């Protein structure tokens, strides 16, 4: 039985717990699609930080995101998930390839992901899956409003997507192989979700399982364009800010938070509709359902103005990561404390789907951590900013997040160190505290080990820009204007 095969491979647990999980698997053999490999529904939000969730204790959302809260109560919560390079294109490239930005060269926005990268949809297609992509793509690098032909979609067949736009109430997309422009009706994330629901209903009885990737642009700014009915719920004076937001940032942070949280409430309602559809189609048990985000949002923390990311602070780096797979794990609440990094996500899902992980993947499956936390008790997840852009005066950095600590270096050496259990808002930098000298050495050694593993010597940004042949504009990023020359690892490096 396939479920037992998966369990044997990913579990290293007590005989009693193994018995209970096997019983759950046997019960689920009654589902109509049990003999099929599991469907996969991957939901990716944009700029949704881990802290902005009710289940993680955000008082502004208490009781206001019932669908996410339900998943957190009945599924898996990787509570220390991080974005390897917390900005859009680098995260998406690392997610689809399972490889680090310094390996792929995908460390700027608006780069073209080369066709020779072996990606998520291609792997699933070879395993017999149907593949679908709906929403924001941001991996083609040929212009944010241009048509992406089939050969540049990295293995996704069903296609209703656009490279990049956050014009939520006038959201452009292309459908299939036509370069005709279409616009989603009303609020874009609602329409994209409805299309995903239609796809699920049309493919729930198929002989082949499906991989459906739904990529929302929200809650990324502009924040004031969220549905009005949710904006009416929040008032600036009622917004509760974290203690690491200084006085000079509070007014702007509260203003932006109203729309930010409104987008989040709207997306939570979409998650509820998706979950309901899976249940109505009787495939929720044998579907791996994932919700996450590409990076966070500073929202005034540490004196960084709202709308920014890329930084090493938890508001930028930490992302939500919830997963449900009832056929194997039932509906029990499971919290995984070991960090999961962006390149780890692909091998983890492949492991759960009983699909071999390609040798090209650099990330490590975190499936075993679900039931055997000790197996990854000392795991450290690498985070990086190879060449900061939009604010190019910011420092390059490399660092690690463990289940408890954050340790970050810039080119001059140790820069930031936090005990995230005692100091969740990262307000007490321990780098120069002599009482933590041994801890600093330990974390420094872990970082060096991780960087050595992925072949990154942590050099100044100019080294990587020259290595990949990139040409930057005055703001330090890849030009994405209409007449800009496309750039990417497979384009610039060959010149």
Q: Report the catalytic residues.
A: 88, 138
Give the side-chain half-sphere CA count within 13 A for 436.
Answer: 17
CA distances from 233 to 149, 177, 381 (A): 41, 41, 37
**Are 375 and 381 a contacting pair, CB within 8 Å?**
no
Concatenate the DSSP letters of all residues of 41-83 into one string. Answer: EEEEEES--TTSSGGGT-GGGTTT-HHHHHHHHHSEEETTBB-
Instruction: Scan for tokens 């690498």, then name that residue.
Output: 382
C-beta separation of 42 from 290 below 8 A: yes
Specify the 3-state DSSP secondary structure of 479. coil
How far, in Å, CA of 121 to CA of 136, rounded?
Answer: 16
Other CB atoms within 10 Å distance of the CB of residue 14: 11
Query: 489 with 468: CB under 8 angstroms?
Result: yes
Q: Check: CB of residue 38 under 8 Å from CB of residue 288.
A: yes
State how far the alpha carbon of 77 is from the alpha carbons of 291, 374, 396, in Å.
10, 16, 30
Of the candidates 319, 344, 322, the one whose C-alpha atom is nearest the C-alpha of residue 274 is 322
How many CB atoms neighbour CB 371 within 10 A?
Answer: 20
Neighbouring-strand partners of residue 413: 410
- In the block, residue with structure tokens 């629901």: 197
For residue 23, CA distances in Å to 5, 28, 74 come to 14, 9, 18
> What is the end-to-end Cα distance of the chain in Å, rounded?
52
The closest of 322, 326, 185, 313 to 242, measured between CA atoms, is: 313
Supply 462's token pair: 């100019």
Q: How many CB atoms lie within 10 A of CB 422?
A: 9
Please choose, from the candidates 298, 345, 362, 353, the residue with its C-alpha nearest in 3D space to the C-alpha of residue 325: 353
Q: Which residues contact 432 (CB under 8 A, 6 or more apart)?
A: none
Walk across the sheet containing 413-419 and list its strands: 381-385, 397-401, 405-410, 413-419
């Amino acid at each position: 039985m396939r479920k037992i095969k998966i369990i044997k491979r990913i579990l290293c647990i007590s005989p009693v717990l193994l018995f209970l999980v096997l019983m759950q698997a046997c019960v689920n053999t009654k589902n109509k699609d049990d003999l099929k490999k599991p469907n996969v529904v991957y939901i990716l939000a944009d700029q949704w930080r881990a802290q902005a969730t009710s289940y993680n204790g955000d008082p502004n959302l208490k009781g206001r995101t019932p669908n996410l809260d339900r998943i957190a109560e009945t599924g898996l919560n990787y509570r220390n998930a991080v974005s390897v390079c917390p900005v859009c294109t680098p995260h998406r490239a690392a997610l689809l390839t399972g490889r680090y930005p310094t390996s792929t060269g995908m460390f700027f926005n608006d780069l073209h992901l080369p066709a020779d990268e072996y990606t998520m949809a291609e792997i699933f297609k070879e395993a017999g899956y149907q593949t679908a992509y709906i929403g924001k793509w941001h991996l083609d690098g040929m212009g944010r409003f241009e048509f992406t032909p089939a050969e540049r979609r990295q293995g996704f067949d069903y296609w209703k997507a656009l490279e990049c736009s956050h014009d939520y109430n006038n959201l452009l997309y292309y459908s299939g192989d036509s370069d005709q422009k279409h616009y989603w009706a009303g609020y874009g994330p609602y329409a994209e979700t409805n299309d995903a629901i239609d796809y699920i209903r049309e493919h729930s009885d198929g002989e082949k399982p499906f991989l459906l990737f739904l990529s929302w642009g929200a809650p990324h700014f502009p924040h004031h364009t969220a549905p009005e009915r949710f904006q009416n719920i929040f008032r600036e004076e009622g917004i509760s800010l974290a203690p690491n937001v200084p006085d000079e940032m509070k007014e702007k942070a509260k203003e932006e938070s109203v729309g930010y949280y409104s987008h989040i409430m709207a997306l939570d309602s979409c998650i509820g509709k998706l979950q309901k559809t899976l249940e109505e189609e009787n495939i929720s048990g044998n579907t791996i359902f994932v919700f996450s985000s590409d990076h966070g949002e500073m929202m005034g923390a540490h004196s960084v103005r709202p709308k920014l990311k890329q930084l090493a602070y938890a508001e930028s780096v930490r992302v939500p990561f919830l997963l449900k797979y009832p056929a194997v794990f039932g509906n029990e609440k499971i919290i995984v404390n070991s960090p999961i990094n962006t390149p780890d996500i692909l091998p983890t899902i492949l492991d759960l789907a009983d699909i071999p992980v390609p040798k090209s993947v650099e990330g490590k499956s975190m499936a075993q951590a679900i039931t055997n936390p000790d197996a990854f008790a000392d795991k450290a997840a690498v985070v990086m900013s190879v060449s900061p852009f939009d604010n190019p005066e910011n420092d390059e950095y490399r660092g690690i997040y463990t289940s408890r600590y954050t340790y970050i270096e810039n080119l001059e050496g140790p820069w930031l160190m936090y005990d995230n259990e005692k100091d969740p808002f990262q307000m007490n930098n321990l780098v120069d505290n002599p009482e933590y000298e041994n801890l600093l050495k330990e974390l420094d050694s872990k970082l060096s080990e991780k960087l050595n593993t992925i072949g990154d010597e942590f050099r100044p940004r100019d080294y990587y820009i020259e290595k990949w042949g990139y040409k930057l504009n005055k703001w330090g990023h890849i030009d994405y204007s209409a007449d800009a020359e496309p750039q990417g690892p497979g384009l610039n490096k060959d010149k």
